[in-house]
Structure 1
Amino acid sequence: MAPQQDIVVGIDMGTTATKVVAYRADGSLVATASNGYPLDEPVPGHAEQDPAKILEAVYAGVREVVGEIGVERVAGISFSSAMHSLVGLDAAGEPLTPVVTWADTRAAEEAERLRDSGSGLALHRRTGTPVHPMSPFVKLVWFRENEPELFASVATWADLKGWVLRHMTGALVVDHSIASASGLMNIHTLAWDAEALDIAGIMPEQLPELVRTRHVLPQLTDEAVAATGLPAETPVVAGAGDGPLANLGVGAVRPGVAACSVGTSGALRVAVEKPAVDPLGGVFCYALTEDRWVIGGAINNGGVVLDWVRGEVTAGEAGLSTAQLLDEAYTVPAGAGGLLMLPYLLGERAPRWGGVARGAYVGLTRSHRRQHLVRAAVEGVALQLTLVKQSMEAAGIDLAEIRATGGVMKHVLWRQTLANAFDSEIGMPQGQEGSGFGAALLGMEALGLIDSIDVAAELVPVESVVTPREEDAEVYAELRPIFDRLYTALLPANVTLQRIGQNLPLRN
C-alpha cells in the first residue's frame, strides 16, 4: 500500500439518505457528502425504496468525496447500511421487488402469529432477531403467503447493501452483521438457521454467501469505476449494519460501554464478546465482528414524538421553536405534574416487540398545560429506553458506561431526563459521523491501517458528562413500573382501536 493511501471512505446507506465520509486513521474527518431519496409508502403499512435511487446516491456521494480528496489517497471503501431490508432478485440479480425496509409493517399479523407459536422465542434466541414485522424472516413469510407467484419467481433474497455490493464488485454476499439482523442466521454457528428457512419457505441457495464484516472484495466493476472515479483495484470492505457500527462510531465498542442514540427513533446498545439474548426475548443481538456483538433494543419513537406534540399544541402560534417548547417544559418538575405519556405513535419495538402499541396520555387533567404535555413526551421516551436497559440487564449485561448521541441531545431537558431516568451518568462524545465513521474504522482494521477497532474509544473522547439528580431519579423509579404496566393494561383496547382504525372487522 502506497504511503499516501491513508484515507478510508465510509458509505452509510440510511433510511432517507446515503452519507459518504472520508477519514484518516487518526480519526480526523477529511470530506463528507450526503444524497437523499424517498421512503415510499404506496399503501398503509408498506415502507419501500427504489434500490436504483440508492445506488445512484452511493455513486454520487463517493464521486463527490473522491473528487475532493483525490483518488490517490483512497486506501479503500467500507459500508454501513440500515438493517432488516429485503429485496427479491431474479436470476440475473436484478430486483423483482422494491427494497422492503425496517419500517415496513405489512407483516404484523404474521409476526403476531409466529410470536404466539411455540417456536417464536426459540427462533429469537437462536437468530438474535426478534420475531417482529421489521424482520426479513417475517417479511418472507408474508411474501410466501400473500404474493405466492412473485415469491416463487425470486431466485435470490438479498438485502440492500448486498445488492449495491453486487453492482460495485460483482459479488453477491451478505456480511454476518446484516445476516444477524435477518432472523435467518444462527448467531451461535454463523450459518443459516434450518428451521427459520423452512418456515420462510426458502432454500440456502436462495440467499447470498455469508462473509465476515471485515471481508475484502478486491475488485470494482467497470460500472463502479465509471460511476465513482475510483480505480478498479480499490479494496471494498463488506462492512456491517448501521446499529453496531453506530456503537463503533461513538467509541462504545468495549464490553460494558453502551451507546444511547435518540434521533427520530432511539436505541440502546452495548458491545459484548459473545452473542446472547435475555430469557424473555426483550433484546436483539447483532454482530459487529465475529468476536464483537451488540446487544440492545431499538424504539420507534424518539424525537418524532416531540415533533408531533409541537405540531398539535402550537397550532396558530407561528415562530415558536422546539427549543422554546423544551425550555418551557424544563421549568416543570420531574413527573410532569402526574402526567404520563405512552409515546407509541409509531407502534413500538423493544422490549416487547409487539405490533399493536398505541400512544396515550394518562393522568390528564384541566390543570395540565402544554409544558406538561411536552415534558411527559420527553419522559415517555426516556422511560421506554429504561425498559430496554432492564432487558439488557436481564440478559446479564453490566452497563458500566453510557454514551449518548443524537440530534435531540443538544437540549438540556433531553440530556438530563435520560440521565435521571437511567439513574446513571451519561457521557456526551465529541462530534462524529456515527455509522459512517464506524464503517471507516472497520475498513481501516480490515486493510491494516489500524491494529484494532478498539482504538475508537480513544478516537472519540467524551466531551462532557451529565450527572443524574437524585430526587428526579427517585420520581422516575416510582413511575417506571406504572409506565411498564400500562402497556399490558391498554393492550386489549389498543387491539380493538387498531382494527377500527384500519376498518377491519372484529374477530371472534
Structure 2
Amino acid sequence: MKQFSLTFDFGSGSVKAALIDNNHRILASCNKPYLTYFPKMNWAVQEPESIWSIMQEATLEIIHASGILPTQIKGIAISHTGSSIIFVDQFGNALSECVMWMDGRAVIQANRLNKLIGKDLYTGKNVIAKLCWFMEKQPELIASAYKLLDLQGYLLYHMTGQMVYEFTSARTTRLFDVYKGCWDESKFDISGFPRRLVPERVVRSDETVGYLTSKASRLLGVAEGTPVFGGCNDHATAVLGAACVQPGDAHIYIGTSAWLAVTANDYQDVDTIRPSPVPGQWYHYLETDSGGACIDYLIKTYYQKEIAENMDAYSLVGDESTGVSSYAKVLFLPFLTGASAPISDVRVRASLLNIEASTSRGQIARAVLDGVGFNLLWLKEFYTSKQGWNINSLRGIGGGIMLPESVQTIANILGDPITTMRDPRFAGNIGLAVCIEVGLKEHPNGYDALKTSAAFDRTFYPQDEFRERYDRLYPIYKSAFYALSKIYNKLNEEKGE
C-alpha cells in the first residue's frame, strides 16, 4: 500500500496542505486562509487557536479528496514563517496572540540592545527585541508563562504533547547559537529574557519530535502514533524544495515576501547566514518584506471590477504590464510593511512615484513588477559585495512565480536566467516531504537525493532589449528610497513606540 507525506506550509496569510508521494508528486492539496490583525500601528498578530483549527480542516479535506486511508500517512511535517511569538501555559494553551514576523513594535527595545552591544544588529521586528518589549509592557505575562514557542512549536505540541523548538527556527529568536547548536547564554544576559521560558529540547528538521496523540488523531483524522518531524522555517524548507543542496545553488522566492538565498558549505559569523536543514550546510538569506503582497495589493486596488466578474486578474496584470513602453517612468517602492534588507527600516512604506493624469493601469502594473525586481537586485548587489556572485543556477519558487511576466521581469532586472520548479507554490511542502523521507531513512545518501530528484519546469532568460531601461531606472529607484526614508521616518516615528 502506497505511503504519503502529510505536509503543511504555513505562510503569512494561509496554509498550503499537501499529500506528497515518494516521487514528490502532489496527490491532493488545499490552501486555507487565516486572518492577520493589525490592532496598532506596526503590529501584526494572529490567533493561534484559529490556525490549529484551520490545520484540522485542511487535513480532513485533503484526506477526503485523496481517498487514502489514514494509515497511509507515513509522517507529518510543518513549516512556518519563523520569528513568531506565542507564550503558553504548561498545557500548551496560548496566553498571547501569535506575534508575527512582520510585527515591528519593538523599535525602542532594538535600539537599546544595539547601544548595549555597540553595533546596529537588531531591528524592531527581531524576536529578541520584541521579547524585551513584552518584559517592559506585559511583565505579568512573562511571570505567568510556562514556555515561549513559535507557531511551529505550538502546532507540534498540539500534535505530540512535546514542547520543542526546531533548529532552523530557533535561530530566528536571536537567542540561539547556530554554530554550537545550543541556546546562547550571553543573549539571555544581554536581553534579560528568562532562560526558563525556552524549551530545552531543540530538534533537527528530520528528527522525530514525537507521535500523534489520540486527541490529535481524532481532530486530524490521521492514525494515532503517526511520527511527527521537526520541519523547518519557511526559507529553510524552500532551500530543500528548490533543491539547493550544493554550494552555489541559489533561489528566489516570491510569496507574501520575497527573498534571495544562496547555499554555502562554510559558516561565517555574518547576519545573513542561516543553518540549512542539510547537516553541515548553511545558506545566505536576504529578504524584502513585501513581494507577492505588492502584486496582491495591485490587484485588489486596480482590478476590483475584474475580480467581481471572476476574471483572471493575474493574467491581466501580465498582459497589461507587458504592453507598456520601455520608456515608461513610473516607479514603485515595494515596502508595504517596512524594509528588511539590504537596509532595515520598519518605518519606510510603499510608494508609487511619477504618476500623471495619463498614467495607465498597465504602467502601474509594470512599476509594481519592476519594484519587486529592483529590490531583489539590491539584495543581489549587497550579497555580491560581500561574497561575490559565483552561483551554479538561480531557481524560482513561490506563488508569485506562477505569473510568468513577474519571473521574466526579475530575470531581466537581475541579468540571470531563472529556472522555475515544477510545483513552485508547493516547493515548501516538497521540502518537508524530503525531511520526512530522510527522517525515515528512505534515502541512503540523505539529502543528496535531491540532486537527481528535483523537478524543473522552464527557464526564463534575460532579454537584452530591456537592459537600457533597467540600467536607467535602478539608480533612481535607490535614490528614491534614501530620499523618501527621511520623510517616512518623520511621518511614522510613533510606530513601534
TM-score of the aligned structures, taking structure 2 as reference length: 0.89
The aligned counterpart of 1:374 is 365
1:481 aligned to 455, 475, 481, which one? 475
Is 1:296 the counterpart of 2:288? The answer is: no
Deviations 1:348-389 (A, max 9, x none): 222212212122344455664443332222111100011111
Structure 1 residues 316 and 364: CA distance shift in structure 2, 3 A: same
1:315-464 alignment, distance < 5 Å: 321-334=313-326, 336-364=327-355, 368-396=359-387, 398-431=390-423, 433-451=426-444, 452-464=446-458
Structure 1 residues 294 and 75: CA distance shift in structure 2, 3 A: same
The aligned counterpart of 1:13 is 10
The aligned counterpart of 1:175 is 166
Question: Residues of 1 paired with 2:302 and 2:9: CA distance?
Answer: 35
RMSD: 2.8
Q: Is the CA contact (8 Å cut-off) linking 2:204 and 2:277 kept in structure 1?
A: no
Question: Residues of 1 paired with 2:422 and 2:129: CA distance?
Answer: 38
Shift of 1:343: 2.1
Structure 1 residues 463 and 338: CA distance shift in structure 2, 3 A: same
2:132 aligned to 141, 157, 161, which one? 141
Structure 1 residues 427 and 277: CA distance shift in structure 2, 3 A: farther
Shift of 1:222: 2.4
The aligned counterpart of 2:83 is 84
Deviations 1:412-462 (A, max 9, x none): 431221011110111122125121121111110111122322333433332
Structure 1 residues 117 and 368: CA distance shift in structure 2, 3 A: farther
2:55 aligned to 42, 45, 58, which one? 58
Structure 1 residues 164 and 199: CA distance shift in structure 2, 3 A: same
The aligned counterpart of 1:268 is 260
Deviations 1:305-355 (A, max 9, x none): 234345555688886834334423322244x52332222232122221221
Q: Is the partner of 1:181 in helix, strand or coil?
A: helix
Structure 1 residues 328 and 188: CA distance shift in structure 2, 3 A: same
Question: Residues of 2 paired with 1:202 and 1:301: CA distance?
Answer: 30
Q: Is the partner of 2:405 in helix, strand or coil?
A: helix
The aligned counterpart of 2:103 is 104
Question: Residues of 1 paired with 2:139 and 2:246: CA distance?
Answer: 45
Question: Residues of 2 paired with 1:20 and 1:312: CA distance?
Answer: 29
Structure 1 residues 98 and 367: CA distance shift in structure 2, 3 A: closer
Q: Is the partner of 1:171 in helix, strand or coil?
A: coil
Output the amino acid matched with 1:343.
Answer: P
Question: Residues of 1 paired with 2:195 and 2:246: CA distance?
Answer: 33
Is 1:205 the counterpart of 2:202? The answer is: no
Is 1:71 the counterpart of 2:63? The answer is: no
Q: Is the CA contact (8 Å cut-off) linking 2:273 and 2:282 kept in structure 1?
A: no
Q: Is the partner of 1:274 in helix, strand or coil?
A: coil
Output the amino acid matched with 2:208.
Answer: V
Shift of 1:119: 4.2
Deviations 1:165-205 (A, max 9, x none): 12221211111111012211122212212232223322333
Question: Residues of 1 paired with 2:235 and 2:496: CA distance?
Answer: 35
Question: Residues of 1 paired with 2:115 and 2:342: CA distance?
Answer: 16
2:217 aligned to 212, 219, 225, which one? 225
Deviations 1:47-80 (A, max 9, x none): 2222222222223333444453212322222221
1:157 aligned to 112, 125, 148, which one? 148
The aligned counterpart of 1:467 is 461
1:498 aligned to 484, 492, 497, which one? 492
Any unmatched runs of 5+ in structure 1?
125-130
